[in-house]
Amino acid sequence: MGVLDGVRVLDYGRFIAAPWCSALLADMGADVIRVEKREGGEDRWVQSVTPSGEGGTYLQCNRNKRSLTLDTTTDDGKEITRTLVAGADVVVANMPAAGMQANGLDYPTLRAVKADIILASATAYGEGGPYSGRIGFDGAGQVMSGAVYRQGLPELPIRTVVPYADFGTALTLTIGVMMALYHRDRTGEGQHVEGALLPTAMMLSNAFLIERDLLGTDKPRMGNQGTSVAPCDLYRTSDDGWVLLQVAGPSMFKRWCLLVGRPELFDDPRFADDDLRWRNGDVLNEIMAQWCADKTRAEVVELLDAAKLPAAPMHSTQEVLDDPHVQAMGYLRRVPFPETPRGVPIIETPFRLSATPGEIRHRAPLLGEHTDEILGEIGYTGAQVADLRARGVV
């Protein structure tokens, strides 16, 4: 039995922030209904990997859900939305306030239908400020948080291709939904849970802002080197592999000095603490680069591990799939999907509960796969559904 068995979630989300939030709720047992346009949400078709056109992120973020197609702008569509909301516990969406109102998904409208409803909404910048009307994807949070200003090469800021602001917002939104459900159980009251890309990205890079405010300085962009410690970088090995090492604190630094055969560095005043080691990081990183240059990636990792130093090999995507630890831990679950040559490797629930773990029960749905089923559950007959389909409502 899942923690959220009996909880019904209406997912009007697209792309990542809202859909990954509702996917995690679905992993824990919630009945999540993905409501999308008759032609499919835009996120369904991005970076297609299946014969029917679904993209990889869609497959990840929409497992365990059912799909209902619906034109929410029509009178019949609005009536179906109200009926769905009346039987739901949580509504999840990510769109600007104007779009929420146009679709009848703003909190006052939802609360008028069901007093204890919980609305979880994600936007780019949050509601109530001068940027609230703007739209934005993950990169907007990255570049406006100050993070990209600090990362990349000296002459070229580089945003990460990993959409951490989106996924981070999904995680904070999920925490908020669980808090709201707990609050409702205690008080009977629903509430509006808000998440946004910009504050999520600022949360993840807050230390940069604190450093700037208190010290009045910005450290330069330094590629893969550490922002506050050294030696820290990605180092090339003799077989053209790469290994990451991050040394922090005197104990680690002493073990590193002994490993690379330079024990005198530990008493060198240039390297007396983490800040000084960072300021003189070019010296330490060059020593480490030379030490790695005549060793294979496997040899470097083995020696660093034996010295109890935090290091890891840089894996290709195929190496991640083949990694024995990833396989032993079951981090990726092979989920069958129609007409794909093999099961799709979908990340399992990224946290584990000993008594009530999350579970991928079924694949992401095909477009409108459960429309008849869901409408039947709220009282529509087969003839009525056929009429709605003929008129382009579903």
pLDDT in tens, 40-83: 999 999 999 999 999 999 999 999 999 999 999 999 999 999 99
Q: How many residues does the chain have?
A: 394
Residues paired with 192 in a beta bridge: 119
Inter-residue contact 282 to 270 (CB < 8 Å):
no
Please give the Cα distance from 78 to 214 (Å, whole number). Answer: 52
Whether the per-residue pLDDT at 291 is higher than 90: the answer is: yes
pTM of the model: 0.95
Amino acid at 260: V
- Segments in 54-134 forming alpha helices (H): 56-61, 75-86, 97-102, 107-113
Q: Mean of the pLDDT values across residues 377-394?
A: 97
Q: Which of 267, 286, 313 is the last residue of a domain?
A: 313
Average pLDDT over residues 286-309: 98
Same domain membership, residue 174 and residue 32: yes
Q: Please state, for a pLDDT cut of 70, what percent of the chain lies above it.
A: 100
216 domain-assigned:
no
In-domain check, residue 2: no
Contacts of 40 (CB under 8 A, 6+ apart): 69, 367
Question: Residue 342 pLDDT > 90, yes or no?
Answer: yes
Residues 6+ apart with CB under 8 A from 291: 260
Instruction: Find where tokens 């999907």 sit.
Output: 337
- pLDDT category at 301 given cuts 50, 70, 90 is very high
Question: Could you tell me the residue range of the domain that residue 179 belongs to?
Answer: 8-204+328-391
In a domain, 71, yes or no: yes
Q: What three-state secondary structure class fits 116?
A: coil
The predicted-structure confidence for 3-44, as pLDDT tens digits, reads as follows 999 999 999 999 999 999 999 999 999 999 999 999 999 999
Last residue of one domain, picked from the residues 313, 339, 358: 313
Q: Do both 273 and 385 map to the same domain? A: no
Token pair recorded at residue 381 = 């007959």
- Position 98 confidence tier, pLDDT thresholds 50, 70, 90: confident
pLDDT at 327 over 90: yes
Q: Where are the alpha helices (DSSP H) in 87-163?
A: 97-102, 107-113, 138-144, 147-150
User: Does one domain contain both 179 and 89?
Assistant: yes
Domain boundary among 262, 280, 313: 313
- Closest by CA to 105, choosing from 31, 11, 211, 181, is 11
The pLDDT confidence band at residue 99, using thresholds 50, 70 and 90, is confident
For residues 182 and 264, membership in a common domain is answered with: no
- Alpha carbon dihedral 191, 6, 84, 36, in 10-degree steps, equals 90
pLDDT band (50, 70, 90) for residue 322: very high
User: Do 375 and 290 share a structural domain?
Assistant: no
Would you say residue 210 lies in a domain?
no
Query: Domain of 191: which CATH number?
Result: 3.40.50.10540
Same domain, 188 and 266: no
144 with 45, same domain: the answer is yes
Over residues 71-96, the mean pLDDT reads 95
Residue 225: inside a domain? no
Q: 249 and 273: one domain?
A: yes
8 Å CB contact between 378 and 83: yes
**Is 14 inside a domain boundary?**
yes
pLDDT of residue 45: 97
> Quick one: DSSP state of residue 29?
T
Q: For the chain, how many structural domains are there in total?
A: 2
pLDDT of amino acid 261: 98
* C-alpha to C-alpha distance for 25 and 358, rounded to whole angstroms: 9
SS3 34: strand
Residue 228 has pLDDT above 90, yes or no: yes
Q: Give the model's confidence band at 95: pLDDT under 50 very low, under 70 low, under 90 confident, else very high.
A: confident
